Amino acid sequence: MTVEAAEASDADVDKALDELRGRFGTLTAVDRPAADGDFLTVNLVATVDGEQVDAAQDVSYQIGSGTMLEGMDEAVTGLSADEDAIFETTLANGENAGNKAQVKVEVSAVKERELPEANDDFAQLASEFDTIAELRADLTKRAAEEKVTEQGVEARDLVLEKLIELIEVPVPAAFIEDQLEQHFTGENAHANAEGHDTEEHRTEIRENTEQAFRNEMILDAIAEKEEIGVSQPELIDYIVSTAGQYGMEPNQFAQMLDQSGQVPMIVGEVRRRKALAKVLELAVVTDSSGSVVDLSDFVRPGDEADDSSEAPAEKKPAKKAPAAKKAPAAKKPAAEKKPAAEKKPAAEKKPAAEKKPAAKKAAPKKPAKAEAAADEESSKA
């Protein structure tokens, strides 16, 4: 089994540096048509069948970010301040979710982001380093670590795919249909309202569900053959690491699991992780340069929790492996109301690595077969 070599390029380092500079960028108004990457201040009015259903004033939006309505980028690109356009879109939220709407967008300001010069002064402002050379060296190191992490995830997934090729696992059609029904109804009914209940999406969900089921069956068989058990400390470690992903305290999360009868599901998940760790200890994966990929950081099953208790078929962004390092140590700019707002003095001399707050998630749903193995598939996104 072979994966790509883990090599960080100068482009990777430049991208990381530009992202850091962007956090300290300033917005300057320009007298020209809006282009990709520009920041706009806009007013929006949405109508359905000629009747106004929603409106928003002085909204900040970056062209190309895709954080607002579908069709927005095309409508505002090329507009200057005090110009407007009308486009059609499908509303995703509210009482009119799923309906086609006519949206009038008025541009009141066009701004471009100016990045601070990458020099020693910037290094001292944005990081713990005194020179830009030191900052680049740190970013280079972290980019290399990130590539190693990505390579490890790819190798792990390749091992699972190989197992599925070698072991035939029948997938009950009735089970798959039941999982699809659960996914597109009840708590997931919003998918229909947002226009996600398409044939293409259903096909993707079906394939992911089948893959998760096969992964679960294979890892269960390996755990049985190797007589793998789960100790109380291992279970506690998993619960503690998982609780944060649901925005809950470990004790609160443990009580919820116990009251809902889901502790056996968690035990099964930890057991499968240990089974996968056993497989990875024995697997040999090389990269495109012929070097053996070090999978040691991927054989500790309790290091990182996943979303296995959610709908098994839904793909999610790939998560970092246990050994992944944090983002470059950098000072945070003061809170901003708008993206890339004007630069403000750093609050501290010794910065801490910027972290994204853990997303708050709903409590795990009633366990269903294959849900516990979904994390192995979700990391492929």
pLDDT of residue 8: 82
CB atoms within 10 A of CB 109: 18
- The helix, strand and coil proportions of the chain, stated in percent and rounded to the nearest 5, come to 40, 15, 45
pLDDT of residue 336: 38
Q: For residues 152 and 144, give the distance between their C-alpha atoms in angstroms, rounded to a whole number.
A: 12
Specify the range with the lowest mean pLDDT, choosing from 97-101, 292-296, 317-321: 317-321
Identify the architecture of domain 135-323+360-378 in CATH. Answer: Orthogonal Bundle (1.10)
Q: Tokens for 100, please give them.
A: 């086609």
pLDDT tier for residue 131 given thresholds of 50, 70 and 90 = very high
Specify the range with the lowest mean pLDDT, choosing from 72-86, 107-121, 130-144, 328-342: 328-342
Q: Does residue 366 have a pLDDT over 80? A: no
Q: Does residue 342 have a pLDDT over 80? A: no
Q: For residues 44 and 172, give the distance between their C-alpha atoms in angstroms, rounded to a whole number.
A: 49
Cβ pair 315, 183 in contact under 8 A: no
Q: How many residues does the chain have?
A: 381
Assigned CATH for 26-114: 3.10.50.40
Q: What is the pTM of this model?
A: 0.53
**Structure-derived torsion over alpha carbons of residues 6, 319, 118, 110, reported in degrees to the nearest 10:** 130
For 172-193, what is each residue's pLDDT tens digit?
A: 888 888 888 888 775 555 445 4
Q: For residues 13 and 11, give the distance between their C-alpha atoms in angstroms, rounded to a whole number.
A: 5
pLDDT of residue 299: 57
For 11-61, what is each residue's pLDDT tens digit?
A: 999 999 999 999 999 999 999 999 999 999 999 999 998 899 989 999 999
Name the residue with tokens 């200057």. 80
pLDDT of residue 28: 92
Report the amino acid identity of residue 231. S
- CB < 8 Å & 24+ apart, contacts of 268-271: 268/220, 268/372, 269/238, 269/308, 269/372, 269/373, 270/230, 270/234, 270/235, 270/238, 270/301, 270/302, 271/220, 271/223, 271/228, 271/229, 271/230
With 0-12 / 13-18 / 19 or more C-beta atoms within 10 angstroms meaning exposed / middle / buried, residue 14 is middle
Q: Tokens for 177, please give them.
A: 């249909």
Q: Tokens for 301, please give them.
A: 């099953």
Q: For residues 210 and 171, give the distance between their C-alpha atoms in angstroms, rounded to a whole number.
A: 7
Q: Tokens for 225, please give them.
A: 């053959």
Kindly state the percentage of the chain with pLDDT values over 70.
Answer: 73
Cβ pair 44, 55 in contact under 8 A: yes
Domain boundaries, the chain: 26-114, 135-323+360-378
Cβ pair 372, 350 in contact under 8 A: no
Cβ pair 176, 210 in contact under 8 A: yes
Report the amino acid identity of residue 222. I
For 86-127, what is each residue's pLDDT tens digit?
A: 999 988 777 878 889 999 999 999 999 999 999 999 999 999
Q: Which of 101, 93, 69 is nearest to 190 (CA)?
A: 93
CB atoms within 10 A of CB 209: 29
Q: Tokens for 121, please give them.
A: 């002064």
Q: For residues 367 and 179, give the distance between their C-alpha atoms in angstroms, rounded to a whole number.
A: 11
State the chain's mean pLDDT as an integer: 75
Q: For residues 49 and 102, give the distance between their C-alpha atoms in angstroms, rounded to a whole number.
A: 8
Q: Does residue 213 have a pLDDT over 70? A: yes
With 0-12 / 13-18 / 19 or more C-beta atoms within 10 angstroms meaning exposed / middle / buried, residue 321 is buried
pLDDT of residue 358: 37
pLDDT of residue 197: 53
For 260-290, what is each residue's pLDDT tens digit?
A: 888 888 888 888 888 888 887 777 778 777 7
Fold: same for 26-114 and 135-323+360-378: no
Please name the residue ranges forming H helices in 198-310: 199-225, 232-243, 250-259, 263-282
